[in-house]
Chain A
Amino acid sequence: MSNDEKKKANHNEEKSDLKGTFVSVMILGVFLVISWIGAFTLFLSR
């Protein structure tokens, strides 16, 4: 990456506030993990 492009990338990063996105995907991730653990527990208990 040239210096120029790097600056632009950083600039983009500042401009786009993605906190809401981050929280949303993490909620999704936690949901995936919890449901998997639930099924795994069921598997073990049977």
Chain B
Amino acid sequence: MELAKKMKETKLTQELPISKQESKLYMSYISVAFIALLIGGLMGLLQVFVRSGKFTLPFGIDYYQVLTVHGVILGLVLTTYFIIGFHFSLMGKTVGISLKQRRVAWVAFWIMVMGTIMTATTILLGEASVLYTFYAPLRAHPAFYIGLALVIIGSWIAGFVNWSQLAVWKKAHRGEKSPLLAFMVTINTLLWFIASLGVAVAVLVQFIPWSLGYAETINVLLSRTLFWYFGHPLVYFWLLPAYMAWYAIIPKIIGGKIFSDSLARLSFVLFLFFSIPVGFHHQLTEPGIDSTWKFIQVVLTFMVIIPSLMTAFSLFATFETTGRRKGGKGLFGWFKKLPWKDVRFLAPFIGMLAFIPGGAGGIINASHQMNAVVHNTIWVTGHFHLTVATTVMLTFFGISYWLIPHLRGRKLTPKLNRLGIIQAIIWTVGMAIMSGAMHIEGLLGGPRRSSFSEYGGGEQVHAWIGYQMAQAIGGTILFIGIILMVFIFIKLTFFAPKGEEDFPIASEEEDAEPTPPWFENWKLWIGITVVLILAAYSVPVMDIIQHSPVGSAPFDWPIGR
């Protein structure tokens, strides 16, 4: 009781100023993300052009080389850099960063940049057209894998800095609950660390020795299983920063309060538990994994839907409560009271809406035998261009509109705000066309990760090509959106008028229910996470190793090496 009272007293988040040196660190991470957006977007444009059948790549460039750049640079580089920059900004604002921590954070940055350059070079030289999933036994140049390992290691160091930031703060604030955003960042970095251990093991133990020729063969199924142990939590690592903004920042932007601090924390803890032991839902049509274990992981996958259901309620409730306070009447009158003309709200809000079809598609994908309807069809690509390329990206754009001017000592002008709104609309239209066409083509059986092909001809293929034309139109509109966004980024970074832009962090209601202190029991959260992982993975992985076929020798020629 005593503790609870004390925790309540500090619930009004204190906010720390961000120094110039800190800003530089955070902006460095974020800038890499926007450079990645431009390059990756250009690749996306080339892809939709090629797939329309009306265009061939010049200079003998291979489609799959372009697709590898697109997947790696948007799926892995853009996301990771933006998220780490955002994490650091949130931690700096809520719990602070010491000089030493900042130095280590720079080390993390440069390790990641070195890794990124190594990987990018191999891809550009055509030595690594293995796509961002780098499935064995296709073999890329060893530098591709070493570069990836460096990116992961760098990201871990960044996460360790975040943990030490919270630890330092807690020492100075004994018995207080950690700031909500710092709590969320800690969950997400934990999730990332535990998940990327899998891909790190695959890369360090399997791929690097094998690509260098020290190991003659590789266990293909094991490498895929380790990859997808990482691959699903990866998508939650992308999504949770968006949820941070939705739970704890958007309420401030719309002039409201956090709906419930405890429920927000609870949903994050549930994400930590259930986003990892579920990787088999990407491997449902594999020949070498026992069906019962697949089904067990399907059940666990369905558990991870629950925190998203909670989030949906919390968000609507925040909107309704705020809208009603502003005088909204009737069942939906509050809806009109939301700040539709504020891009910091509008862009993430469209992102939320996109998550409705995105989530519906995700449930379908994960539905065990039903996966056969969509597996590896272009439907899947349509699905994650809704979730990551719309929900997550539009929220990241929404964050950028205030974070970048805040860090750069500038202001988001009404003109840039209007440009941002246009950007969000362009993105929405382009994506609706491209992703919609991908969903339909996928249901008709059109494959993903495929250059233009007429196959054996016939009605089916004819229909696919029609939808690929639509994707080219949608993709072109999207690319215009990317150009506009990069333009806004440059404006906000270098040219917007000097001033002070707010770093919006919402507080709880005056009379909010206190958050139970057991949320700070990190050992318990990690313990449960590990137990769930062991329960879902130890038996099937042992089975995979014991009943494995002979290993696979590397293949270079299929990727043109």
Quick check: B312 and A28 within 8 Å, CB to CB? yes
* Stretch of B69-77, B150-158, B361-369, B401-409 at the chain-chain interface: B361-369
Query: Shortest Cβ distance from A13 into chain B, in angstroms?
Result: 11
Quick check: A9 and B513 within 8 Å, CB to CB? yes
Quick check: A39 and B364 within 8 Å, CB to CB? yes
- B373 touches which of A20, A32, A42 (Cβ 8 Å): A42
Across-interface contacts of A24 in B (CB, < 8 A) = 316
Query: Shortest Cβ distance from A27 into chain B, in angstroms?
Result: 9
- Taking CB atoms and an 8 Å cut-off, the chain A residues in 3-23 that contact chain B are 5, 8-9, 11-12, 16-21, 23
Main secondary structure of the interface of A (DSSP, over half): helix
Given contacts A23-B331, A43-B370, contact A18 B363 (CB under 8 A): no
Across-interface contacts of B511 in A (CB, < 8 A) = 8, 11-12
Given contacts A16-B317, A19-B331, A23-B331, contact A35 B364 (CB under 8 A): yes
Give Cα distance in the complex from A21 to B57, angstroms.
50
Closest to B365 in A: A39
Mask of B357-380 contacts with A, CB within 8 angstroms, 1/0: 101110110010110111000000
Give the total number of A-B pairs whose CB atoms are below 8 A apart. Answer: 66
Given contacts A8-B511, A25-B312, A46-B373, contact A36 B363 (CB under 8 A): yes
Given contacts A25-B312, A31-B356, contact A20 B513 (CB under 8 A): no
Closest to A23 in B: B331
Cβ of B525 within 8 Å of any chain A Cβ, yes or no, is: no
Quick check: B367 and A20 within 8 Å, CB to CB? no
Cβ of B385 within 8 Å of any chain A Cβ, yes or no, is: no
Query: Shortest Cβ distance from A21 into chain B, in angstroms?
Result: 4
Query: Shortest Cβ distance from A8 into chain B, in angstroms?
Result: 6
Across-interface contacts of B313 in A (CB, < 8 A) = 21, 25
- Taking CB atoms and an 8 Å cut-off, the chain B residues in 283-341 that contact chain A are 309, 312-313, 316-317, 319-321, 324, 331-332, 334-335
Query: Shortest Cβ distance from B257 into chain A, in angstroms?
Result: 11
Give Cα distance in the complex from A20 to B191, angstroms.
34
Across-interface contacts of B367 in A (CB, < 8 A) = 36, 39-40
Besides the contacts A18-B320, A21-B319, what 4 more A-B pairs have beta carbons closer than 8 Å?
A16-B317, A17-B320, A18-B317, A40-B370
Q: Which residues of A contact B (CB under 8 A)?
A: 5, 8-9, 11-12, 16-21, 23-25, 28, 31-32, 35-36, 39-40, 42-43, 46
* 21 chain-A/chain-B pairs, Cβ below 8 angstroms: A8-B511, A8-B513, A11-B511, A12-B511, A12-B513, A17-B324, A18-B317, A20-B335, A21-B313, A25-B309, A25-B312, A25-B316, A28-B312, A28-B356, A31-B360, A32-B359, A36-B364, A39-B367, A39-B374, A42-B443, A43-B369
The 8 closest A-B pairs by CB, nearest first: A21-B316, A35-B360, A39-B364, A21-B317, A43-B370, A20-B320, A24-B316, A21-B320
